[in-house]
Structures are given as C-alpha cells and as structure tokens.
Amino acid sequence: MYKSFSMEIGGRTLTVDVGRVAKQANGAALMHYGDTTVLSTATASDKPREGIDFFPLSVEFEEKMYSVGKIPGGFNKREGKASENAVLTARVIDRPMRPLFPKDYRNDCTLNNLVLSVDPECRPELVAMLGSAIATSISDIPFCGPCATTQVGMIDGQFIINPSQEQWKSGDLNLTVASTAEKVIMIEAGANEIPEAKMIEAIYMAHEENQKIIEFINKMVAEVGKPKHEYESCAIPEEMFAKMKEIVTPEEMEGAVFTDEKQVREENIRNITARLEEAFADNEEWLAILGEAVYQYEKKTVRKMILKDHKRPDGREITQIRPLAAEVDLIPRVHGSAMFTRGQTQICDITTLAPLSEMQRIDGLDSNEVNKRYMHHYNFPSYSVGETKPSRGPGRREIGHGALAERALIPVLPSEEEFPYAIRCVSETFESNGSTSMASTCASCMSLMSAGVPIKKMVAGISCGLVTGDTDDDFVLLTDIQGLEDFFGDMDFKVTGTADGITAIQMDIKIHGLTRPIVEGAIARCREARMFIMENCMKPAIAEPRKTVNEYAPKIVQIKIDPEKIGDVVGQRGKTINAIIDECGVKIDITDDGAVSVCGTDKNGMDKAIEYIQMIVSEFEEGKIYTGKVVSIKEFGAFIEFAPGKEGMVHISKIARERINHVEDVLTLGDVVKCKCLGKDKMGRISFSIKDAK
C-alpha cells in the first residue's frame, strides 16, 4: 500500500513515500527534500551469520553522477569505488544507528542509500541519514529507534538549521547531531574555533529539532510499520558465566587486566583463555563462544573497576593523561616532520608542500569540481597493534580518522594568498593504544609548524571516555582513554581545538544516548586536557611556525599580472611559458585572475623566470636599457629576444658607432647584448639601439 507523509524541516518540505518502490526490501523510503531525492532501504538476512561475534551491519551511500546531470570522468564512464565523501557519510549514518540494534543480533543487515537527484539547497547526505532511520524504523528489523538527524550551520553568528551546500561550505560551523526521543546519540562537527558554550547551544538546538522528526517518524511507524521479526539470540548463557567465575575468580581477572602494558594484559588474557579452554574441553557449544565470553567477562571487570572503584586498568586517575612526548624534524630531507607520543599511542606525521596546481580535484555531487588544497592522510599498519596482515590500502576507519584530523586543522591554515602552497600531511601510526586520530591532530599541527606553514594557532586533540551505571546520574568520565577503555566503555568523545575554541568533534557511543551533563562534562574535560597537552608537550617541542619553509621544500613567489596578458605569457600552444620553465628550471601556475605562482628550489632561476614574465607583460619604456639575446640576423638588422616570446629589432645603423656593411661583422646568433629602447618609429614599431646603450 503506497502512502506519502510530509513535514516541514528548516523551512523546506520533507516528503517520504512508503510502498511506492523497492517493496521487497524489509523497509524502504523514497525521500524528497526540496528537489533532492534519495532511496533509502533496509534489508536483513533471515538467519544469523555463523562464526561471528559482532553485528554485521553494512551502510552504503551511493553517489550517482546522473543526480547532478554529469557523466562520470575517465575511460569507463561508470561510477567507481565509493568517494571519500560517500565513505564519511556512510560512517555518520552507521555510528548513531548501530547501538540501537539488539546487542545479540547477528543477522546480516544492509542500509543502502541511492542518491537519485541533488538540489544544492538540500544536502543529500542529510536526506540519507533520515532515510536510513525511517526505512529501518518502519521495517520488521529489530531496532530500538526511531532516531533522527539534524545539521546546523552558522553564518555571522546565526545558526542555520539544515543549511544549503553553499552555506555548509562557507559557514563557521558544520554540525551534525543525531538523537533518540530522550538523548543525543551522535555528534560530528567541524568548526572555526567555536567556543564551548556556543557549541553546546548548537548541539541542543539540533536535538530539539530532532524531536519533531522523531514524532513524525513515530506516526509513520504507527501507520505503515511492520511488526519486528523474531531472531535467534547470540547472548552468552548465564550458566556459562557462572562456571567461568568459579575457574577464574573476579579478583584474578582484575589482576590480569590491571596493567599499563598492553602486551602484558593480552598475554594474561591468553593464559586465562587457555585455562578455560581446558576446563570446557568436553563442551563444544561453550568452546565455540568462549572468545566472546572471555571478552564479556573482561569487559564487566573493567567497567566495575572504573565505575565503582574509580580504578583504571593502567592505574591512572580518571582525569590523568598518559605520559606525553613530542619531537620535530626527526625525518631528514622531508619538508616537515613531527612525532607525538601519548602512552602507547605514537604518530609520526610528515608534511609535503607543493604548488597549488597539485591540489586534489574532486568531482562529486556538487555543481562544480572541488579543489582540495589541504589533504590529511592517515595510515594504520598492522604492526602498530602487534598484529600481522597484508596492507590493502586505507579502509573506512583510516579515511574517517584522516578526515577528522584534516577538519581539525583547516580553520588555522593560512589563506592561499598568504601561503600559496598545496599541503599534504600523512600520519603514520607507529603504535596504537587508543585515540590515534587525536594524536594525529597533535602531530600534524607540529609537523606543519616544522615545515614553515604559518598556521594561525596551535591545535591539539584528546578523547574522553565514559562508563555508565544503572541510572543516568551514575557515570564516570575518563580523560584520554586507552584502547581497553574504548572497547569496554560506552563512549569515545573526541574534541580538537585551539586555546580559543573547538575546531572539530567526533562522538561515538555504544549505548542509547547521552544526557546533557555528560555532553557538557566531556566537552569541558577535553578543553582542560588539550590545553595541558599544548602547554606541556607541544610548545616545548615547537612553539610557533618556522619563519621560512624547509630548505628541501619548493619556494613559491606570487606576482600579479593583467589577466588580459595571460595569453602573452602562455604563448601559442604553451610555447612561451614552456620555454621559461625549461630555461629557468621552475614550475609556473597562472590562475584566471592573473595570479602567477613561480615555484622552484633555485632562487636565481625563480628570479629569472619572474623577470621574464614581467618583461612579457610590460610595455617597452623609451630610454630604458634592456638585455637580450640575438635570435635572428637579417640584412637590415638583428632581432633581439628579451624574454621568451618578447622580441625587438635593432636596425643595422644602430648596432655600432662606426658604419658596418654586414650585421654579421659585429653580431652572431646567441650573443647577449644590451639595448636601449628608442621608442616608436614612424610606422609605430618599437626600435632599439645597441650603440646608444654602450
């Protein structure tokens, strides 16, 4: 049965068609917001996947170029692998929804979002977030929803609900907030140093807007929602836990996990697992789920230690940051490098500078190609956690971590006019035990300063964790969570910023939402911690950006020319500009507005190239002395090239003070001579004299 539902959000109409298309999916919603159209579907398998101890949820955001009236570039003319934006959007959909599925649910589940058309006023990413929540809520898939998502922008200090693409790009805030009817369940933000109080105000403005959407979804569920299907629970039997505690007492388990050495803890758990395997050798059913059971036992032990005793596995106080270390310039010959260490988390970041022509061009669901000047890439090799597996390139986690660190630093980067470089930072994870993305932010900030990038302020990041009890008031916030506290805790709340405000937030949780005191407490705790990191670790290593770029980095000088003269500099089929590049050993980029960037490592070559360009775009000045090369000899005189594509003629009578019969008697091809400009002759041509320049 086809039904259509509508509501107003942010001054635009959201319409949801149910039962119109994709009827064989467990749940489907054809979403319309303005002229943006997204088909969101939710499907699940009938049976659980065997041999796994996690919920196999897949989220897809499919960008189709026809949605913006484009044919994909390249030879194939077909959409390829998911873009970085598609991966990040899928992650933002996954993070709030995953905790709302039953913890013991092991059926394969896929949330697919197909972008059919794009209205620049209505971002398809937001429509997909709402569509996934609606499709799942009205389906028969077990789900503790509904949930809703709202985006907030800010221009001139004013908040904008669900901003347009242009407002999203140009504003000072990119905030995405997901909520249930009671609590906030996900926060993602990029901000231009927004004060903490202002950020909290924006978060709860979005939370209030989400309540209207949840009420709308509940009406849809009441009218067209399917009864939730039964499923085979994969929970660990209580009798198994009881038997495990007889063999390994809670005190033994506490002793096994209470260490600041990750390897020691893992060895202790391996020994405990071996004892339990021996004890359960005759029970195949229990042996099959023993790994998950040990994990749950360890998790309960850690949570009890933290919540009841305020004891952390490595012995720290709940507000204490692990030992910090920082250094710069550790990698020779690269343009900038820095290493940041926090406990057993260690990141080495390398900065590379290049001309603006090296910017990344992104052909996405936007009206125009996007040029990305600052790129941050994050790598997470298996050796960083003591494991072995082949490298298959960056996965969704690596792309997400890189994007978070990138977002954190963009607000403090100099403008293209101030610093005409494309910038790439690569964070190599040397060691990982919790919050490598925040270590990447700190390392990247120092690496940029090491490379001589004049960033406006120092940026640091830290993660805050959470362990909750049976009531909303029973919780403990943990500053600087390590891996174990992340795995067994309820929250990973990452905040980056300067001394003056927040530049990025990413919040992941494993429970059904956070109360306002938890959100406010986490943001405050993160500010306190990042200030400590900057003052006690980063500033002693490098307090401010280097005054000049590294000796191995390309040097770039910018000049401005009349845009109408660009063709003269480029020359026919690029002949003139290529001649300058070859002779001077430089790289030259020219923008449509006449900004010319000359890039090279040799100052003399760069100076010569600039001199040539200025010569080409300038008119010859009467009485001025010029230096050029003889490039052609005729009976009546010689042609002198002053710069590639810029020539003048010296009549035979103006070559020498004495009379000469042949030009070749005085000049040969390739001679470098000085000439004086005599102005225009009777025919309006510029003439030169060699004899008057002596």
Can you give the CATH number for the domain in which 649 is found? 2.40.50.140
Which percentage of the chain shows pLDDT scores above 70?
99
Whether residue 632 is contained in a domain is answered as yes
Structure-derived torsion over alpha carbons of residues 370, 373, 374, 375, reported in degrees to the nearest 10: 60
Query: DSSP states of 428-458 as a string?
Result: EEEE-SS-HHHHHHHHHHHHHHHTT---SS-
Q: Which has the higher per-residue pLDDT, 366 or 15? A: 15
Q: Do 152 and 207 reside in the same domain of the chain?
A: yes
Confidence tier at 438 by pLDDT (50, 70, 90) = very high
Peptide bond into 146 cis (omega under 30): yes
Confidence tier at 507 by pLDDT (50, 70, 90) = very high
Residue 43, beta-bridge partner list: 110
Q: What mean pLDDT is predicted for residues 364-378?
A: 81
Q: Do 302 and 220 reside in the same domain of the chain?
A: no
Q: For residue 315, what pLDDT is reported?
A: 87
Closest Cα to residue 442, out of 425, 459, 455, 464? 459
Residue 91, beta-bridge partner list: none
Residue in the block written with tokens 């709402």? 130
Q: For residue 464, what pLDDT is reported?
A: 96
Tens of pLDDT, residues 264-294 = 888 989 999 999 988 888 888 888 888 888 8
Does the pLDDT value for residue 308 go beyond 90? no
Q: Do 402 and 527 reside in the same domain of the chain?
A: yes
3-state secondary structure of 115: strand
Q: Which residues contact 600 (CB under 8 A, 6 or more apart)?
A: 554, 555, 584, 585, 586, 587, 606, 609
Q: 605: how many CB neighbours lie within 10 A of its CB?
A: 17
Domain of residue 603, CATH code: 3.30.1370.10
Domain of residue 7, CATH code: 3.30.230.70
Q: Which residues contact 230 (CB under 8 A, 6 or more apart)?
A: none
Q: Do 494 and 352 reside in the same domain of the chain?
A: yes
Most confident of the ranges 165-179, 350-364, 593-607? 165-179
Does the pLDDT value for residue 89 go beyond 90? yes
Whether residue 387 is contained in a domain is answered as yes
Question: What's the distance, CA 150 to chain centroid?
Answer: 20
Q: Say how many domains are in the chain.
A: 5
Last residue of a domain, one of 541, 566, 599: 541
Domain that holds residue 484: 324-541
Structure-derived torsion over alpha carbons of residues 287, 290, 292, 298, reported in degrees to the nearest 10: 180
Q: For residue 102, what pLDDT is reported?
A: 94
Most confident of the ranges 253-262, 525-534, 552-561? 525-534
Q: For residue 367, what pLDDT is reported?
A: 55
Whether residue 208 is contained in a domain is answered as yes
Q: What mean pLDDT is predicted for residues 417-433?
A: 94
Q: Which has the higher per-residue pLDDT, 115 or 312? A: 115
Q: Do 180 and 289 reside in the same domain of the chain?
A: no
Residue 491, beta-bridge partner list: 466, 509
CA angle 413, 545, 459 (to 5 degrees): 55
Tokens, residue 185: 């369940």
Confidence tier at 108 by pLDDT (50, 70, 90) = very high
The span from the CA of 178 to the CA of 213, in Å, is: 11
Q: Do 336 and 393 reside in the same domain of the chain?
A: yes
Tens of pLDDT, residues 660-685 = 889 998 999 999 999 999 988 777 77
Q: Do 220 and 246 reside in the same domain of the chain?
A: no
Confidence tier at 346 by pLDDT (50, 70, 90) = very high
Q: What mean pLDDT is predicted for residues 577-595?
A: 90
Q: Do 164 and 71 reside in the same domain of the chain?
A: yes
The span from the CA of 9 to the CA of 457, in Å, is: 37
The mean pLDDT of the chain is 92
Q: Do 8 and 100 reside in the same domain of the chain?
A: yes
Determine the straight-line distance between the first and last CA of the chain, rounded to whole angstroms: 96
